[in-house]
Amino acid sequence: GGRIWVESELGKGSTFHFIVQLGYIPDQERHTNPIALDDYRQALLFDTNRRQQVALRHQLAELQINTTPVTTFSQAIRKINTGQVCDLLVFDYDMMVETGMIVENLADDEQAAWLVALQQAINPLPPCLFLTNAQRGTIQLSFDPPILSVAVSKPVRRAMLRDAVRDLLNDHVPETESAVTAPRAESGTSEIPLSILLAEDNLVNQKVMLRLLGRLGYEPELAATGLEVLAALDRRPYDVVLMDVHMPDLDGLETTVRIRQTIEPERQPYIVAMTAGATIQDREACLSVGMDAYVSKPVRIEQLVEALDKAKRPSG
C-alpha cells in the first residue's frame, strides 16, 4: 500500500509526491555476515586522506580487520620493527602516484622500487590491496617475486571490499571469476588429471602457484630445494614438475640434469621451467638441460594452462 500524487502550478511546474511502506532492517542484519576469518587480522593502511581513512577503517572493522593508518614507508617499517602484526597492506594507489611513490608509465621494476624496499623490511610481504579511481582504469603492476594483490575501484563498495579481502586472506576464489574458470573447461584439466610436484623455495611464490593450480583443480605436492625434488621423485613418479630455476642446494638446471641422468625413462616427468629471466638465452639454457617447457614469472594462468595441456599430450 502506498500513495502518489502530483501538484502543479501554471508557469512554475509540477511537484510529485509519493508515500511507500518499507520494512525496517535492523543494523546487524543490514550487512553481510563476517567473512569468518580465524581471528581479527591486522592491516596497515597507506593513505593521507583523513576522511577516507576513517571510512576504510570502519569498513575493514566490519570484516574483522583492525587497521593502523600510516603515511610513509618508514613509519610502517618502524611499526613492524616494534612488533606490529601485519596481515594485510592497504594502499591508496592514487595517493602513491601523487606523492611520487609510484611513477606511472615507467617499467614495472622502476614502478615497484618502493615495494622492493618494503619487501626487504617485511619478509615475507603480506597480501596487498590497492585502491584506485575507476577513471584510471586497470592498474598494471607486476612484481618479482610475485605478491598476492587485488585492486579495488573507489569509491569502495562493501561487497567489493569483502570479496577482495576474502580472496587475499582466505584464499577464496569468487564464483564470478569466469576468466579464470574458462581455461579449465577448454583445456579439459579435469578429464586428464596430472600429478604435479611444485619446486619453489619462495613462500610467496609457493602461495601464488598453489592458488593458480587450485583454480585448475590441482593439489600439487611441494619441494623447496633441488635435493627435495630428487627425494620426492625417488619416492614416487610425477607427471609434471614445475621447476623454479633458482633454488638453494641444487638449482633447477642442475636438478633437471640429475633427473634426466638417474631416473628410468618410464618414470621421467614433464619438466616446466619457471624463471623471471625472459631472454632467449634463458629459455635455451632451460631447454638445453632437458626441460620440456618454459614459463616466465610472474606466472599467468594462461601460461600454466598451456604448459599443462602440452604435458597431457602423448609424446611422439
Rounded CA-CA distance 181/175 in Å is 9
Handedness of CA 118, 99, 130, 75 (dihedral sign): positive
Gyration radius of the chain's alpha carbons:
25
Locus of grid cell 607486476: 142
With vertex at residue 205, the alpha carbon angle to CA 203 and CA 207, rounded to the nearest 5 degrees, is 70
The CATH architecture assigned to 187-312 reads 3-Layer(aba) Sandwich (3.40)
CB 34 within 8 A of CB 63: yes
Instruction: For residue range 264-289, list pLDDT tens digits in order.
Output: 999 999 999 998 776 788 888 999 99
| pLDDT (average), residues 23-45 | 59
In three-state secondary structure terms, 22 is coil
Phi/psi of residue 252, nearest 5 degrees: -65, -35
Rounded CA-CA distance 287/281 in Å is 10
Name the region of 283 (left: φ>0; alpha: ψ -120 to 50; beta: rest).
alpha
Confidence category of residue 171, pLDDT binned at 50, 70, 90: very low
Question: Boundaries of CATH 3.40.50.2300 in the chain?
Answer: 34-169, 187-312
With vertex at residue 198, the alpha carbon angle to CA 285 and CA 139, rounded to the nearest 5 degrees, is 80
Rounded CA-CA distance 305/216 in Å is 8
Phi/psi of residue 279, nearest 5 degrees: -90, 165
Q: Give the pairing of strands 221-223 and 196-199.
A: parallel
The CATH architecture assigned to 34-169 reads 3-Layer(aba) Sandwich (3.40)
Instruction: For residue range 120-146, list pLDDT tens digits in order.
Output: 666 677 888 888 875 544 555 555 556
| pLDDT (average), residues 67-72 | 84
- Look up the pTM and report it: 0.46
How buried is 278 (Cβ within 10 angstroms: 0-12 exposed, 13-18 middle, 19+ buried)?
Answer: exposed
